[in-house]
Structures are given as C-alpha cells and as structure tokens.
Structure 1
Amino acid sequence: MRRLNTGSNLSRHFQESMWLYIVSLLCLFTGIVLGIYTVRYMDDLQRQDLISYFLDFNKNISTMEVKNTAVIIESLKNNLPMLLVLWVAGLTIIGIPIILIVDIVKGFFFGFATTFAFYSMGYKGTWFVLLGVLPQNIIYIPCLIVASVLAMRLSFSKLKDRVNKQINYNKNYFLDYSVTFFIILLVMILGFLYEAYVTPRAIQTIATAAGSVIF
C-alpha cells in the first residue's frame, strides 16, 4: 500500500510539475549550446592554451597516482555549491531566476567539456566523453533538474503567497523539502564515487591507448 502511495505521489508530482521540468531542461540545453559555441568560436590563442593544457594532462595522466579522496573533494566543490544554491533559492520569492541560471551554468560546463574533448581528440574524444564525462553526469544532471523543479515550486508558492498577502508557513513541507534535497545529495554521492574510483582509471586507459593526441 505504501509503495502504491509513493508511486501515486510521484506520478502526481510529475504531472503537476511537467512545465517546470520543461523550463529547466530548456535552460540546461541552452547552456549546452552556449558551451558548444564557446569552444567553436573562442579565440585561437585561448584555444591553443587549453589544448596545450589538455596535451600535458593526456601525457601525464597514464603515470599519475590518483588520489581518490582528492577527486571526491573536487567533485563536491564542483557540484555541492549548485545544490546548496538551489536549496536556498527555493526558500526565497526571487529564487527562480537564480535556479534557471544554475541550470544554464551546469549545461554550459557539460557542453564545453564534451565539445572540447571531441575538438581536441577527434574520434578518440568519443571514448573520453563516454567513460570520463558522461557516466557521472547521467547522475548529476537529473539530480540537479529534480532539485531545480522542487526549488521552483517552493519559490513560486512563496511568491504566490506574497502576492495574495498570505502567510502559509508549513513546517512539515519545509522538512520534506530539505529531506528530499538530502536524498538527492545521497544519490549524487554515487556520481562522486564513480568520478573518484572509475573515471581516473578509464581516462588513464584512454590516454595509454591513444598514445598522443592528434589534432
């Protein structure tokens, strides 16, 4: 019975929030497109600097000792601030623009990283993206999209209450909101672990097999 209630609640959530998911996804795809075009139209000098850095990384990664704890900390630095910003933004009446900007920024980083890998490594960049970029983002991106929608729903609710001059503070809803974000963080930890323990080995394998990057 509890499982049926959970399924019903999830179904109702997606039905009620479908347009918010569409808006969030549109912002994400906008960011991806911006990332793609940034790589394609960036200054030649900037591009060469990035390529040089990527070359050095490619040469050294196969012999580098991977510190898994350091990678996890770096993953937290890259993703946890976004989740915290979304959580805080949902608690304010002006949070919606901030939430949409976070979606655009996440899309930009993903689009930039994948496009630059293809641009630098050619067909070998496919393996770099499939093994080194895509897997953890399959976890991160849906988590951030769900967090964005939850935050927008709460922000809209607060804005509506302010317009109607109502005070509708629901302690239980705030608790549910925060607990849901904590669950999202727990799911994202799977991505952190993959990025720390699997991604470095995959990239080392690609670097060793590729030998050198050909432009």
Structure 2
Amino acid sequence: MLKSRTLELYMKEHLSFYIFVGVVFVTGVVFGAVMVNALSIEQREEIARYLGNFFSSVHQGALDGEGAGSFREAFGMHIKWILLIWLLGISVIGLPLILILDFLKGVLIGFTVGYMVGTLSWKGLLFALVSVVPPNLVLIPVLLVCSVTAMAFTVHLVKNRFISRQGALYEPFMRFTGTMVGSAVLLVGVAGLEAYLSPVMMKWVTPMLLTVSGS
C-alpha cells in the first residue's frame, strides 16, 4: 500500500515532465525519419556503400570474439550520456540542454530506422528490429527516467535557491544521484545486449541484406 501511494505521488509530481520529455523525444524520432528524405543522391550512395561493407563484415564474422571490446565501448558511451545528464541536472541552466539531448537521441534513432526501412524495405525493418530495437527497449526508458529526474531536481534547485530559499537539498540530491547510479547498473545490461546478443542476430539476417545491397 505504501509503495503504491509512493508511486502514485511520484507520477502525480512528475507526469507533466514525462509527457513533455516524451513529446520531445518522439519529435526527434519524427525529425530524424524526415531527414532521410533530405539526403542527396551522393549521401545515399555513400551510406549504402558503408552499409554494404558493414553487412559483408558481419556476415564474414568480423564481430565474432569482439564481445568484451564492444561491451566496454557501448557501456562507456552510455555512461557518458548519463553522466552528462547528471551534470546538467545539478546546474541551473541544464534543463533546456537535457531536452536537447533527448531530442538528439530521438533524431539518431529515427534517422537510423527511417533510412533502413526507406532503403531496404521490410529487410531493413528486420535489421533494425535485431540491431536497434533490443538495446533501446531498455536504454530509452532509462534515459527518459534520468532526464525527468534531472529536470525535477533542476526545478527544485531553482526554487530553493532563487524563489523560496527553503528546504534542504541533500535528500533530493541523493534521490537524484541514486536514480543515476541505478540507471548505470541497467546500462550494464544494455551494453551486454549490444555486445553479445545483437551481433548474433545481425549475423543471422545479413545474408538477406547482402543480396539487396549488391555486396
């Protein structure tokens, strides 16, 4: 009962933040997908050549035995993103920059999936499902929670320092930092998916993509 009340109170206080961040992220996804149509013929050909080489490398086992290195690289990239959100959260001017990060993350995902589907049709969708979707099923909610927590702390910080000047910052700061630490633990699983599961699934679908890319 206590947990349900705590969750209800949390959602009541943060629902508007989640809606706003969600809209920003989805807007980024749509913008990224639309960007695909703005590519020139030369840019499309360059990306197609890169993808063809990548598919060939995956099919030939280039990713085999690279799990540990890929894990470190993926985890390092994600933890830097979380650390940046944490740093922005403890700064007064960090709120709009957090929203920009969420928008850019949406753009990256929208562009990647949009290009794959627009160029390779259902086979591109299949590749996106095995390479992009699995880690992002965990990563996106983690980033959204971190962003909302950071924004809420920033708002609390502004109210405390410039408006009411009341209330201790220690407890909200520890909750904020604890959320970041918990998110970092979840990122271990995300990096594991990217390093060990996604390469196996990509190797499974690349033979079909090679026939499309002409490699």
Q: Report the TM-score when normalising by structure 1.
A: 0.92
Aligned to 1:16: 13
Indicate conservation of the 8 Å contact 1:62/1:204, yes or no: yes
Aligned 1:1-215 pairs, distance under 5 A: 4-63=1-60, 64-66=62-64, 67-164=66-163, 166=165, 168-214=167-213
Indicate conservation of the 8 Å contact 1:17/1:149, yes or no: yes
Indicate conservation of the 8 Å contact 1:59/1:212, yes or no: no
Give the superposition deviation at 1:168: 4.0
Alpha-carbon distance in structure 2 between the residues aligned to 1:37 and 1:65: 31
**Aligned-CA RMSD value:** 1.7
Q: Which runs of 5+ in 1 are unaligned?
A: none
**Alpha carbons of structure 1 residues 35 and 153: separation in structure 2 relative to 1, 3 Å:** same
Q: How many residues align?
A: 212
Give the superposition deviation at 1:188: 2.2
Alpha-carbon distance in structure 1 between the residues aligned to 2:13 and 2:63: 48
1:85-115 C-alpha deviation (Å, 9 max, x unpaired): 1111111111110110110011011101111
Indicate conservation of the 8 Å contact 1:35/1:111, yes or no: yes
Give the superposition deviation at 1:208: 2.3
Q: Report the TM-score when normalising by structure 2.
A: 0.92
- Which moved further from structure 2: 28-37 or 73-82? 73-82
**Alpha carbons of structure 1 residues 103 and 92: separation in structure 2 relative to 1, 3 Å:** same
Alpha-carbon distance in structure 2 between the residues aligned to 1:28 and 1:151: 16
Name the % identity: 25
